[in-house]
Structure 1
Amino acid sequence: MTANRLTDYIAQMREAAVKANGFVSDMSYDEFIADERTQMAVGMTLVLVGDAAARIMQHYPDFAVEHPEIPWNKIKGMRNVVVHDYYKLDLPVVFETVRKALPDLVLQLNALHHWRPQGE
């Protein structure tokens, strides 16, 4: 695995999180609950964030350990719920995650944006 793949995964996580935020930025909770299309779009972005996080954890475990500020296991867990138990999704939790946790994640990922492996 090259370091470029790591930076790609970080960028993928950030891009999907930003999209999720954009999908609900002008929505109230009630509007989100009534909008199945947005729910599904947000679900897909959570899958994308979680897939990239899982790849980082698998292929770059030291990096994940070095950055405990990012809740890698929770992100991967959310992805697994969306993929495997979509019809049991707790929509209030999804909305809260997108509105509150993802903006923080984007800031954390922005801080990693200029990360380079030692020696580069």
Structure 2
Amino acid sequence: MVSEAAALVSAAGHTELPDVPLPQIVGMRNPLVHAYFDINRQILWDKVQRALPPLIAQRKKSNR
């Protein structure tokens, strides 16, 4: 899960990735795991569609 991976990013990683909203990504885990019946699926899907592609592109760029 993306949120679990984000939780493992070191302090140095946070410094290297200032544009990545790591605390917000980590914070999404609890509602998704524990309160999934309360999640608005349309809002979640919109967030995934808009936020995930730039994060993937940024990750690929940083691996070069």
Query: TM class, shorter-chain normalised?
Result: 0.7 to 0.9
State the aligned residue count. 64
Amino-acid identity (%): 33
What secondary structure does 1:69 align onto? coil
- In structure 1, which of residues 29, 43, 54 is the aligned counterpart of residue 7 of structure 2? 54
- In structure 2, which of residues 9, 14, 27 is the aligned counterpart of residue 77 of structure 1? 27
Task: Structure 2 unaligned segments of length 5 or more: list them.
Answer: none
Task: Structure 1 unaligned segments of length 5 or more: list them.
Answer: 1-47, 115-120
Could you list the runs of 4 or more consecutive aligned residues of structure 1 that deviate by over 6 angstroms after TM superposition? none
Question: Shift of residue 66 of structure 1?
Answer: 2.5
Equivalent residues in 2 for 1:1-120, closer than 5 Å: 48-56=1-9, 60-114=10-64
Backbone CA RMSD of aligned residues: 1.2
| TM-score normalised by the chain length of structure 1 | 0.49
Flag the structure with larger Rg.
1
| TM-score normalised by the chain length of structure 2 | 0.86
Deviations 1:13-70 (A, max 9, x none): xxxxxxxxxxxxxxxxxxxxxxxxxxxxxxxxxxx000000011xxx11211231111
